[in-house]
């Protein structure tokens, strides 16, 4: 996976989320980590860098994740929100297969081995 000249942006909350999704993604996608909540000035700066690229938000299924989603809905409604099953609560702890299917549903190419339901780690 290469972020150079990526036409898609995936925004996640934490470094462990970024590491996990980067291992799954085959497409050229820039993965941005917000480290949880983000200030309005930092968010505006980030939005300015998006250009005409597709933007996806993949946040945890918890209060902090919902807060981040609300910020993006308000400041950048063009972003597409991707959701993990609430059972898993966190992107970093969701099964690889589940994340691969979520990413694939957004037309983000993933490594085929992660589509195997029994896949537990890279």
Architecture of the domain defined by 8-115: 3-Layer(aba) Sandwich (3.40)
Backbone phi and psi for residue 53, each to the nearest 5 degrees, phi listed first? -80, 155
Segment 89-102 shows an average pLDDT of 96
The two tokens of residue 66 are 């919902």
Indicate the DSSP class of residue 5.
Answer: T
Mean pLDDT of the chain: 91
Residue 119 has pLDDT above 90, yes or no: no
**How confident is the model at residue 109, as a pLDDT?**
96
pLDDT digits (tens, 9 = 90+) for 75-94: 999 999 999 999 999 999 99
HSE value, Cβ hemisphere, 13 Å, CA-based, for 100:
19
């Amino acid at each position: 996976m290469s972020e150079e000249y990526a036409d898609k942006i995936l925004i996640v909350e934490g470094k462990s989320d970024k590491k996990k999704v980067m291992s799954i993604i085959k497409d050229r996608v820039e993965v941005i980590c917000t480290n949880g909540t983000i200030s309005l000035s930092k968010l505006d700066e980030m939005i300015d860098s998006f250009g005409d690229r597709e933007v996806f938000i993949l946040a945890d299924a918890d209060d902090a994740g919902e807060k981040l989603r609300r910020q993006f809905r308000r400041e950048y409604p063009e972003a597409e929100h991707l959701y993990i099953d609430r059972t898993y609560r966190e992107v970093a702890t969701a099964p690889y297969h589940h994340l691969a299917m979520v990413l694939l549903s957004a037309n983000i190419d993933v490594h085929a081995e992660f589509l195997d339901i029994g896949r537990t780690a890279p």
